[in-house]
Structure 1
Amino acid sequence: MGIEAVYNTKTPAEELNHFEEIADEYERTVKALNYTGPQLCIQALKKCEEKTGISVPRNGKCIDIGAGTGMSGESLRSAGFTGVVDALEPSDNMYSIAAQKGIYSTRYSDMLSPDKETSVESSAYDLVLSCGVFSNRSASSGCLPEVIRMAKMGGVITIVMNNDFWKDGFDSAVEKLEEQKRVQVMYNDSFEGFFGDKTARVFILQKL
């Protein structure tokens, strides 16, 4: 079962079961597809900081949404983030691999849902980061308010996703959140070479 098979899942339970099944082969599979999500996330954040003047403290507190096997956490550490990094990851099998890397302080096993809060504390994080999680499946655009809830006032939310889904409600959802003055869009761009022949969408929000 390749990573793209997740696109055929129909329910959050099916999606979770898929990742439970492919956990052992996940990193090998995505690396074979030249997956660049974590690297793009850090690159975009640095570009945003240089362009806008915002600054995410490297010794601050971060949460990795959909931490998986810890690839994004590894990129955070490589980029000089020395503070607390927590994980939101519902797959036990995926997280068991991540836990071995010694990156994460606390793991939350909730799934993102558009109609239910997770157990993650409100207004707790300087950086909320998510790579390759948001889509038209369980982590839809309706989950954006939940990840914003986790950020401190003035905190930064950095999301990398498959650009195929950007026009599937994310563009309008981000625009609405900005109109409501809940966030300010600090960065929004697309990049070739997400994985395989896919294009990435990277957008960065600051919580108001």
Structure 2
Amino acid sequence: MTSFDEVDKIDDAKNSAEELNYYERTAGDYERRVKSINFQASELCFKALKVFEEETGISIPKDGKFIDVGAGTGLSGEQLRIAGFTGVVDALEPVDTMFALAKEKGIYSTRYPDMLSPDKETSVPGKAYDLVYSCSVFTNRSATCECLPEAVRMAKNGGVIAVAMNGDHWEGTFDLVVRRMEDEKIVELKYSDASEELFGGTKARVFILNKL
């Protein structure tokens, strides 16, 4: 089976500028590439959200307000709608060519063109969203574990943050940041699963936080 690295070579990017340039150049072919390897991040995220709601009794309002962190070409926005969420959905997406394709799908309302940073807030308002979700954006490159608190900042108190990512990046990085935020009484980890395949034998990590 073709590996994700062979398909898109994104791991060759040495910094955030190179990563942005890569996506600017390859946006037109992005969906074909991820579908060719049956990349499941968006589907797994919303599958997990359904289980989370059933197991915890925490209900995300279907007509609420949502933000797609790293919206890309809108694949995760499509899955949001398939999952029955009908409310306003905004996008955090720094790549113009990617968002141009997402915009054509008629899903997103407001776009914030910022890139996640560990030491600077984006222009996204704080405490604004019932659901903050991110599918295959958090990695060990630019959107590192230290950017996770920025996604949490966007959620309303009592809101939900759902992340689907490559499970290889969880141990010793993201798990520690989540534990730190739990210790600080900012969030509670409500769901964490690494049993599903993300692509080509690589395991996904899907985790869901409840903002306190």
Shorter-chain TM range is over 0.9
| Secondary structure of the corresponding residue to residue 205 of structure 2 | strand
Letter in 2 for 1:140: T
Letter in 2 for 1:15: E
Letter in 2 for 1:120: V
Q: Structure 2 regions of 5+ residues with no counterpart?
A: none
Letter in 2 for 1:204: I
Alpha-carbon distance, 1:7 to partner? 1.2
| Secondary structure of the corresponding residue to residue 63 of structure 1 | strand
Corresponding position: 1:207 with 2:198: no
**Aligned-residue CA RMSD (Å):** 1.1
Corresponding position: 1:120 with 2:124: yes
In the alignment, the residues of structure 1 paired with residue 196 and residue 45 of structure 2 have an alpha-carbon distance, to the nearest angstrom, of 13
Contact 2:94 2:114 in 1 (8 A): yes
Alpha-carbon distance, 1:108 to partner? 0.5
TM normalised by structure 1 equals 0.97
User: What residue in structure 1 maps to residue 82 of structure 2?
Assistant: 78
User: What residue in structure 2 maps to residue 24 of structure 1?
Assistant: 28
Alpha-carbon distance, 1:94 to partner? 0.5
User: What residue in structure 2 maps to residue 13 of structure 1?
Assistant: 17
TM normalised by structure 2 equals 0.96
Contact 1:136 1:168 in 2 (8 A): no
Alpha-carbon distance, 1:192 to partner? 2.9
Alpha-carbon distance, 1:143 to partner? 0.6
Runs of 4+ that moved beyond 2 A: 1-4
Corresponding position: 1:67 with 2:71: yes
Percent identity between matched residues is 59
Q: Structure 1 regions of 5+ residues with no counterpart?
A: none
Contact 1:161 1:201 in 2 (8 A): yes
Count of residues in correspondence between the two structures: 208
Deviates most, 12-21 or 110-119: 12-21
Corresponding position: 1:105 with 2:109: yes
User: What residue in structure 2 maps to residue 163 of structure 1?
Assistant: 167
User: What residue in structure 1 maps to residue 41 of structure 2?
Assistant: 37
